[in-house]
Structure 1
């Protein structure tokens, strides 16, 4: 942490003052040099004089961290935290290392609260219990600052931690409780924050198999977004709707929401949305229509964009394996499936179920190749993974595959 001498030197250099200029008529250059190098402690009179010379309040010199320093650290932290997912390497670790020395001093003020929030978000990836206590502290700080929207953001984070541990009902209960408390506050009218809550609420309703409540929340959120011309979360809501109606095999609704998503992706120049559309088209053909040649044609058209997207790349790899299986290229399909790894950021049961299907397809490939023991082993793995997931077409497929493999023994 910066010392008193460090803070004096930094302020002096920021103002482009020489030692002589700061020393003025009441200090010597030599004494000031000793103070800046922490080899001498100034008297209170000298400290007041230095503060006057620098044009700051003496408390800024006495504070271990000044507001200006917090702002500088926050600027660096924001840049690290907002690194695009496709470009993300060790930025979160860098942020933790940057902010950690300041954590004991993050007690009041917006800069301190925001720094602690960014720090706790990164910490949550490896120590969720500790991050929960930090989230509560940040929430209190935002309440004291009357920053209602920021406080609302922390409420969603309270729910995200159990969600990432796949405790979906607990996450939903927390979110609903937080929302109930927020809606008692007449100041909570921020439409962006409302849509954040609507989207997460719909996601969690789907996660606990409350489909009617999820659809109602999702459709009301889309209606609200359109009415107020607010585009935050609208792409995620369209994706959520597409995924739901895909599982329901409602082709009119699928095309309706894909059309909406295409319009949004063109308007916003959103490459992720464009990539999702390609993925959704392929996924529907492989998982629900068994039209592998048609899926293969689309895949070949988008193969380059699929490889460039860090989040969607594993999804496309999985689809490629399914296409090869459907085209009866079983050995090639097995090689493709070996490359599929579930992204660490995925926690929704439907996303996980899609990837758990992989081992069912592996089982079917082995069955076609006459390797029944390996087929049963893969089918067992898929069944064990899917058993804790809610009902879905993916779960049905895995269960049917297990019966087929078991029956073929």
Structure 2
């Protein structure tokens, strides 16, 4: 934590920063002795005297009454921003640290950029820690962003509010909120900055897919990709290409799938993004298991990628799913079930495509149990798969689960 300053200490600090003597700051309305008493906290200035001191220091009176100088708030904000940037799959207690860092300041913040960002980050941390009041702080942040016309941060708050609904799997509400916030910003500001535009394009495409609007998703996704190429701005481009890859895969458009995979690889090499490269390896394995049913070929690839996929926090659960499916396909049922048993769906996984991939493993587990003669566990597993997938939009994964349900029950 940063040390607290008293009113007198703040006045002294600002005076020395401006290279003023006691006499120079005291001017005609105060004496050197009185100012010395104020700086040493042995006398309290009247509001008139405080206003006079603030004017001579070139600051607002409210700034002197704050427990932090602007520079100190900037240091707090810098630390909070760093904590907020930690990836979800690497989080420990960062959100608790954010709350402890910002809480001493929230009641005394004024109308400044630093205040808006601290309100914003504090509200998000409250939400992640499942504490009440988070909306109030986001509203305070939004009001300041709005007054200062900071479009980028207005957009990120709108996106966050949409994602709150998304994480609750209320995909329709999430899409409605996003479209409303996007429209408000575009109407007010006309052309928005490229990064904000690409954030909106990416999430809108994601949410259109989530509610089953494939045509709208493809349109927005392609618009985002073309805009990125036109402006030579590669922000979000790998995520847009990942969406495009999965769309092509689900339609078994192999040429398009390979085209987008090459684009992702080029991006990964250019940006030194290992995660992008790993995605292409996962996509190849997944296509072999879920679409070609080429289980031995998939297992050979998995064995080649084992360390990379299994040592990545993001891909470990997906790797276990794919390994289990491949082992099922070559008749190694016990080993397959062992892999499925190690799958833990991370708290940050919410998109229907990702969830459907995970739910598919229960259908494969049912097939393993059936092959081993354990009808009770086969029925239990397929019921879990059907119950989970029923809330998801139509995909090949949903088709596979429902076909497996019919197969298990027919036998």
* TM-score, normalised relative to structure 1: 0.88
> Is 1:297 matched up with 2:313?
no
**Pairs within 5 Å for 1:43-192:** 43-44=45-46, 59-85=62-88, 87-127=90-130, 130-192=133-195
- Identify the residue that residue 387 of structure 1 maps to in structure 2: 390
Tell me the distance in 2 between the aligned counterparts of 1:365 and 1:397: 15
Which of residues 24, 39, 42 in structure 1 aligns to 2:44?
42
Aligned residue among 311, 314, 329 for 2:314:
311
* Residue 26 (str. 1) matches residue 28 (str. 2): no
Q: By how many angstroms is 1:125 displaced?
A: 2.1
Among candidates 222, 226, 230, match of residue 229 of structure 2: 226
Give a deviation string over 1:1-27, Cα, whole Å, max 9, x none: 75436646876999999xxxx999627
Q: Against the structure 1 CA distance between its residues 302 and 395, is the aligned structure 2 distance closer, same or farther, given a 3 Å change threshold?
A: same
| Cα distance in 2, alignment partners of residues 216 and 28 from structure 1 | 67
| The one of 221, 236, 245 aligned to 2:248 | 245
Structure 1 Cα separation of the partners of residues 373 and 348 of structure 2 = 36
Contact 2:241–2:261, Cα closer than 8 Å, also in 1 = yes
Q: 1: CA distance between counterparts of 2:88 and 2:165? A: 22
Structure 2 contact 12–39 (Cα < 8 Å) conserved: no
Distance 1:405 1:65, change over 3 A: same
Counterpart check, 1:370 vs 2:373: yes
Q: Contact between 1:7 and 1:61, CA under 8 Å: does it hold in 2?
A: yes
CA distance in 2, matches of 1:84, 1:298: 28
The answer to whether the 8 Å contact 2:317/2:343 transfers is: yes
The match for 1:210 among 209, 213, 226 is 213
Partner of 2:356: 353
280-289 vs 148-157, which deviates more?
148-157
Choose which of 267, 279, 303 in structure 1 pairs with 2:282.
279
Deviations 1:315-360 (A, max 9, x none): 1121111122112111111111111011111111111111111211
| Gaps in structure 1 of 5+ consecutive residues | none
- Contact 1:322/1:361 (8 A) holds in 2: yes
**Superposition CA RMSD, Å:** 3.0
Change in 2 beyond 3 A, CA 1:211/1:33: closer
Higher mean C-alpha displacement, 51-60 vs 116-125: 51-60
Q: Deviations over 1:182-225 (max 9, x none)?
A: 22124543111111111111111111111111111111111111
Q: 1:114-168, CA deviations, whole angstroms, 9 ceiling, x for partnerless residues?
A: 1111122222224387333432332221011111222122222221111111111
> Which residue is 1:344 aligned to?
347
- TM-score, length basis structure 2: 0.88
Q: Distance in 2 between matches of 1:128 and 1:399?
A: 39
Give the corresponding residue for 2:204.
201
Deviates further, 165-174 or 52-61: 52-61
**How has the CA–CA distance of structure 1 residues 41 and 269 changed in structure 2, closer, same or farther, with 3 Å as cutoff?**
same
- State the alpha-carbon separation in 2 of the partners of residues 53 and 178 from structure 1: 43
Distance 1:62 1:295, change over 3 A: same
1:57 deviation in Å? 6.8
Q: What SS class does the counterpart of residue 189 from structure 1 fall into? A: coil
DSSP 3-state at the match of 2:105: helix
Distance 1:242 1:26, change over 3 A: same
